[in-house]
Chains A and B, each alone.
Chain A
């Protein structure tokens, strides 16, 4: 088995001393016993193995040659995980580690060595054939925009490219959010275009599943599309897409030559500039769910190419100094700024927010690899949202929204679920 990618992370794996902080939100942020957990995987499955620390030890065991049999159980451990990055953020509050990267490279290593979680095969086959993660027909991709008078960047030039993403493109129930996004952009006078059926997956979700080649392929495809269209800005309402365009493309050396913004960043900017004026009263109490890929994982990628020193009389240092991604610079305020700009709307916060938010359950392919776990995770979030007294949970990602809708349908709740764009449209 080729283990070079994991071997490169050995130093960080060995630093893990099983302190268990990865299982919880940061200690100083705990305000109750009930909502003190950070990692859905260990919270659901309980064996230490499912935590960030446990998976690091599994990886270390692998590269130490102790555990070279890839059992179904091992794949299950690796894939019954939301890849939400909570473990990584909690660890890096006080440590210089790369917990999440180990989880990511474990998946890539298994895929590259031919070990693929069976439930993922149809998803990846669908991606390879139809350029989307929804096992839907490529030809149907642009249907969500039918009836909207919006430019097609494959035929006309526009300043802003709106990338709807796979989930929004094919999930009919979610179409109002993307339609509203286009309406708001047009209302603000933005020169916006879409790629219709020529839009392809960002590749980010596939990468999280361990399929790196797919990320590279779609990064190149999207780079070509943008180059040809000569747009200045890419805007996406999908947190997964944002993470891919902003973070992952940069990570693999394919940084897009355009400004990449999540729709909440762009709309917050338009509200601040007075180009969008939410004036209608919306008397509703809402709570906001930070999508992992927009929040803690959405902060810019920081390249580091150096060595870890081992001088006998000083601790290991990174030369040159390394800026660890700790979730500090995620997109936290723009969505809140939008909500606060809506007259009559009251924002109440959950206990776990921003860099230590609980995942919606859809991350890491869990809806395919472990649907019960994905629903349980979403239901936990709904329960937390209910305790705030809010009437609705608002998010900024189609995967989160789908998870919450399904969890409510399955378990029941008085909460309504909105994409933030829908509320802004209502108020504008």
Chain B
């Protein structure tokens, strides 16, 4: 479905002819990512085609595009580096706005400890520039190649959030082009006081901007945001050595350490997690399991499978629970020794055992430190072999609650493994990051299956069953569940009305209020 010629010409005038395209090959490259067949539904191998793709270069262009969309009644869907069907619309004829040209780090304020960025700045770029100044901030777990703009990612959690907070919580001032084309500046920015604060004066708009599980492009376009920064105890350049795919931290990084220990039970896992959080010693506090350790230590999937059995035998094979990954960083040797001693005491207190697979391989530990700090644990773990994957049960809550969820969700996952429907990764035992020194966090159960009709059917069933379990108030509805539900409005309403205080109704009201012409595509945000 093509745009009207006068509308296309108007958009072309705004961004320039080199920055807009309706070429079928260009459009098709925006219509497929991953998960369409099971997150959206059977038959969705490709998402509906956009009418055109435009690349705005600044806020002024974004604003002009949005106004043009209102004038010609064109739906738009903005996205940056993100991936997944979330960047697409369920309706043909939508205008895709790829924010790639808005990729500047506008300011790094060392004194005020914030950075102002545009949507296409990625985590690795920002981190590299921050480290030079002895600063750092959180990055989301899907990877350092995803946007560093705090509100955009679906869940906002990542490996270093224990010390540097969930990315959603790091959002400060925000510049936001509303679906009407007006520019809204929130927090201190809105009062002309700079970027340093996300709240007030007046009611906070953070929740409206963020949505229950990210606004998914449904409330307009975030064009700039300030992100909160933290002290970085490491060197100004991430000291990496080796040749791909075997990068590792240089061994002379004496004041950084990485450990993984197992525990006898989920109760002990909770106890350990709470103690580690309260001690405030760790940069990374991550519930983990055999598959993650094996997957990240192998150069190829073939190597992973070899490692997996060895690691599995050292955890689940011994009847133990995959406990905690802990990474420590310190400014001084004294500080490092203190943190290390605290960690060892906690491991002792909970009958923990360090994993021999890692303790026997200092090089693997160094490569993990490099990757956990900068890259992503997801890539090798659940993307490398292709196929489909779904992270179930991944809502954010306390450590005690999440260990309980880890236990019961493992049973569900094992049921699917035993039925031969999803890949046997040992049953998972729950994997996830905890943030702000253990105060909040999540675990998920990643179900993986082949990209086949049977594999996708298995994942759809896995999603359905995990959602049913999450409707039990003991476990809680996941943000991911909600974000993928709008395509099944009845189900969203069923979940929301029962357990989330009619969240869907509120979202619809908000949407109507700020987008009277319904031009900011609400797929994955709100049912209509």
Chain A positions within 8 Å of B, measured between CB atoms, are 11-12, 14-15, 17-21, 23-24, 26-33, 36, 45-49, 53-55, 57-58, 60-61, 64, 66-67, 69, 71, 73-74, 77, 89, 92-96, 310, 312-318, 321-324, 326-328, 332, 354-356
Q: Are A316 and B301 in contact (CB under 8 A)?
A: yes
> A28 with B98: in contact, given A17-B83, A77-B26 (CB under 8 Å)?
no
Cα A14 to Cα B388 in complex, Å, equals: 10
Q: Which of B107-137 contact A (CB under 8 A)?
A: 121-129
Residue of B with least CB distance to A54: B29
Is there contact, CB below 8 Å, between B19 and A46?
Answer: yes
**Quick check: is B385 within 8 A (CB to CB) of the other chain?**
yes
Contacts of A53 in B (CB 8 A): 29
A326 to B246, CA, bound (A): 10
Cα distance A300–B299 in the bound complex, in angstroms: 18
8 A-B pairs, CB-CB below 8 angstroms?
A17-B84, A32-B129, A36-B124, A57-B31, A71-B23, A314-B424, A316-B387, A356-B244
User: Quick one: which of B372-426 are within 8 Å of A by CB?
Assistant: 374-376, 379-380, 383-387, 417, 420-424
The closest CB in chain A to the CB of B22 belongs to A73
Of A18, A47, A327, which one neighbours B53 at CB under 8 angstroms?
A47
0/1 per residue, B138-176, Cβ < 8 Å to A?
000011111000000000000000000000000000000
- Give the one of B144, B240, B302, B421 with max A CB within 10 A: B302
Q: In the complex, how many angstroms separate the beta carbon of B312 from the nearest chain A beta carbon?
A: 13
Kindly list the 6 A-B residue pairs having the minimum CB-CB distance in the complex, ordered from nearest: A17-B34, A315-B385, A15-B386, A94-B379, A321-B302, A49-B29
Name B's A-contacting residues (CB within 8 A). Answer: 18-19, 21, 23-26, 28-35, 45-46, 53, 55, 81, 83-84, 98, 100-101, 105, 121-129, 142-146, 237-238, 240, 243-247, 299-302, 304-305, 370-371, 374-376, 379-380, 383-387, 417, 420-424, 448-452, 454-455
On whether A19 and B143 interact (CB within 8 A), knowing A315-B305, A328-B246, the answer reads yes
B26 and A49 contact, CB distance less than 8 A: yes
A19 touches B83 (CB 8 A): yes
Q: How far is the CA of A315 from the CA of B124 in the complex (A)?
A: 29
**Chain B interface helix/strand/loop/mixed:** loop
B83–A66 touching, CB < 8 Å: no
Alpha-carbon distance between A323 and B299 when the two chains are bound, in angstroms: 10
Identify B386's interface contact among A92, A316, A354, CB under 8 A.
Answer: A316
Provided the pairs A29-B240, A96-B384, A355-B243 are in contact, do residues A69 and B24 lie with their beta carbons within 8 angstroms? yes
Identity of the chain B residue whose Cβ is nearest the Cβ of A328 in the assembled complex: B243
- CB of B301 within 8 A of CB of A317, answer yes
In the complex, what residue of chain A is closest to B87 when comparing beta carbons? A18
Q: Write the chain B residue with the least CB distance to A58.
A: B25
Chain B hits for A328, CB < 8 A: 243-246
Q: Which residues from B are CB-within-8-Å of A318?
A: 300-302
A49 touching B25 by the CB < 8 A rule?
Answer: yes
Of residues A20, A28, A314, which shows the largest number of chain B Cβ atoms within 10 Å of its Cβ?
A: A28
B98 touching A46, Cβ below 8 Å: yes
**Chain A residues within 8 Å of B421, by CB:** 312
Structural contact, B28 and A67, CB atoms closer than 8 A: yes
Complex Cα gap A328–B33 (Å): 28
Contact partners of B417 in chain A: CB under 8 A:
313
- Nearest residue in B to A45 (C-beta to C-beta)? B18
8 additional A-B pairs beyond A12-B386, A92-B244, A315-B385, beta carbons within 8 Å, are: A17-B34, A17-B35, A18-B34, A92-B245, A94-B379, A96-B301, A318-B300, A321-B300
CB–CB A28/B301 < 8 A: no
Give chain A residues whose Cβ lies under 8 Å from the Cβ of B376.
Answer: 27, 94
**Complex Cα gap A318–B34 (Å):** 22
Q: Among the interface residues B28, B34, B129, B424, which one has the most CB atoms of the partner chain A within 10 A? A: B28
Please determine whether A355 and B244 come into contact, CB atoms closer than 8 angstroms. yes
Q: Is the CB of B379 within 8 A of A31?
A: no
CB of A14 within 8 A of CB of B302, answer no
CB B33 to nearest CB in A, in angstroms, measures 4
Cα A14 to Cα B456 with chains together (Å): 14
Question: Which label, helix, strand, loop or mixed, suits the secondary structure of the A interface?
Answer: loop
How far, in whole Å, are A324 and B30 apart by their CA atoms in the complex?
Answer: 28
A18 touches B25 (CB 8 A): no
Are A48 and B145 neighbours in the complex by a CB distance under 8 Å? no
| A20–B25 CB distance below 8 A | no
- Chain B residues with CB under 8 Å of A49's CB are 25-26, 29
User: Given A20-B81, A46-B101, A49-B29, A95–B145 Cβ distance below 8 Å?
Assistant: no
A36–B124 Cα gap in the complex (Å)? 9
Q: How far is the CA of A27 from the CA of B19 in the complex (A)?
A: 27
Assuming the contacts A18-B32, A28-B247, A317-B305, asked whether A33 and B26 have C-beta atoms less than 8 A apart, the reply is no
- Chain A contacts for B301, CB-based, 8 A: 96, 315-318
B121 neighbours in A (Cβ, 8 Å) = 33
Chain B residues contacting A315 (CB-CB under 8 Å) are: 301, 304-305, 384-387, 423, 448
Q: Considering the chains assembled together, what is the distance between the CA atoms of A162 and B214 in angstroms?
A: 61
Given contact pairs A17-B383, A354-B243, A73 touches B26 in the complex (Cβ within 8 A): yes
Q: Determine whether the beta carbon of A30 is less than 8 Å from that of B305.
A: no
Q: Is the CB of A94 within 8 A of B383?
A: yes
CB distance from A53 to the nearest CB of B (A): 8
Taken together as a complex, chains A and B put the C-alpha atoms of A407 and B28 apart, in Å, by 34
Given A36-B125, A355-B243, A48 contacting B24 (CB threshold 8 A): no
CB <8 Å contact, B305 and A314: yes
Residues of B within 8 A of A11 (CB): 386
How far, in whole Å, are A66 and B126 apart by their CA atoms in the complex? 38
Q: How far is the CA of A14 from the CA of B379 in the complex (A)?
A: 15
Q: Which residue of B lies closest to A94 (CB)?
A: B379
Q: Judging by beta carbons under 8 Å apart, are A28 and B374 in contact?
A: yes
* Complex contact A313–B420 (CB within 8 A): yes
- Which chain A residue has the least Cβ–Cβ distance from B448? A315
**Are B26 and A57 neighbours in the complex by a CB distance under 8 Å?**
no
* Nearest chain A CB to B150 CB, angstrom units: 18
Task: Kindly provide the distance from the CB of A35 to the nearest chain B CB, expressed in whole angstroms.
Answer: 10
Contacting pair A33 B454 (CB below 8 A):
no
Say yes or no: A58-B28 contact (C-beta < 8 A), given A15-B386, A17-B33, A356-B244. yes
Closest to A89 in B: B244
- Given the complex, which residues of B lie within 8 Å of A54, measured CB to CB? 29
**Contacting pair A18 B302 (CB below 8 A):** no
Alpha-carbon distance between A314 and B304 when the two chains are bound, in angstroms: 11
Q: Which residues of B contact A77 (CB under 8 A)?
A: 25-26
Q: Are B128 and A94 in contact (CB under 8 A)?
A: no
Give CA–CA (A316, B126) in the complex, Å. 35
CB contacts (< 8 Å) of A60 on chain B: these are: 32
Q: Are B128 and A36 in contact (CB under 8 A)?
A: yes
Assembled-state Cα–Cα distance A117/B387 (Å): 35
Tell me the minimal C-beta distance from A87 to chain B in angstroms.
Answer: 12
Q: How far is the CA of A332 from the CA of B238 in the complex (A)?
A: 22
Check A47/B243 contact, CB under 8 A, given A21-B143, A32-B129: no
Q: Could you tell me if B245 and A326 are in contact, using CB atoms closer than 8 angstroms?
A: yes
B424–A313 contact, CB under 8 A? yes
**With A26-B244, A315-B385, A316-B450: A57-B32 Cβ-Cβ less than 8 Å:** yes
Give CA–CA (A317, B122) in the complex, Å.
Answer: 31
CB distance from B280 to the nearest CB of A (A): 26
List, in ascending order, chain B residues with CB within 8 A of A12's CB.
Answer: 386
Q: In the complex the two chains form, what is the Cα distance from A60 to B451 in whole Å?
A: 14
Contacts of A312 in B (CB 8 A): 420-421, 449-450, 454-455
B145 touches A27 (CB 8 A): yes
Within the complex, the shortest CB–CB distance from B117 to chain A, in Å, comes to: 10
Collect the chain B residues with CB atoms within 8 Å of residue A57's CB: 28-29, 31-32
Q: Are B25 and A61 in contact (CB under 8 A)?
A: yes
Contact of A46 with B237 in the complex, beta carbons under 8 Å: no
- A33 and B105 form a contact (CB under 8 A): yes
- Contact of A58 with B29 in the complex, beta carbons under 8 Å: yes
Min CB distance A138 to B, Å, is 38
Q: Is the CB of B128 within 8 A of A32?
A: yes
| Cβ-closest chain B residue relative to A91 | B379
Q: Which listed residue (A47, A314, A323) contacts B29, Cβ 8 A? A: A47
Q: Is the CB of A48 within 8 A of B98?
A: yes
B121, B301, B448, most chain A CB atoms within 10 A: B301
How far apart are B311's CB and chain A's nearest CB, in angstroms? 15
